[in-house]
Amino acid sequence: MLVTPYLSFDGQCEAAFKFYERYLNGNLVALLTYGDSPMADQVPPERRGKIMHARLALGDAVLMGGDCPQGQYRVPQGFTVTLGIDDPDEAERVFTALSEGGSVQMPLQETFWAARFGMLIDRFGIPWMINCERAA
């Protein structure tokens, strides 16, 4: 079984996934708009450029998402996307990038279980945890 987070946006999916691609060193595999889909004629013209489906490859993992149909977006709650990063310097880099324009919930710091751990909500409203476990 493979668990893949699917993130919902209110019109910012393209910007978010291009940001994640750059700062998470990912590969944006798919960025499909409502206008490119078979249902294009059922979508208001101003929403046709919004993203119906995005897929970002992050090593062996995948992050997916899309813009919600108009009026259906809800602020994310009840989950956090967690990134496990082996190198403390890389954890610092990713945390700094994701927190830019967002809000830090817990600064990246050493904890009893991790060389670095921190929590933030990025500029797109997505909650993240960065965890860099201590070397064994």
76-109 pLDDT per residue, tens: 999 999 999 999 999 999 999 999 999 999 999 9
Q: CB of 31 within 8 A of CB of 84?
A: no
Cβ neighbours of residue 102 closer than 8 Å, sequence gap 6 or more: 120, 121, 122, 123, 124
The helix, strand and coil proportions of the chain, stated in percent and rounded to the nearest 5, come to 25, 40, 40
Confidence of residue 70 (pLDDT cuts 50, 70, 90): confident
Cβ neighbours of residue 83 closer than 8 Å, sequence gap 6 or more: 24, 94, 128, 129, 130, 131
**pTM more than 0.85:** yes
Residues in a beta bridge with 117: 109, 131
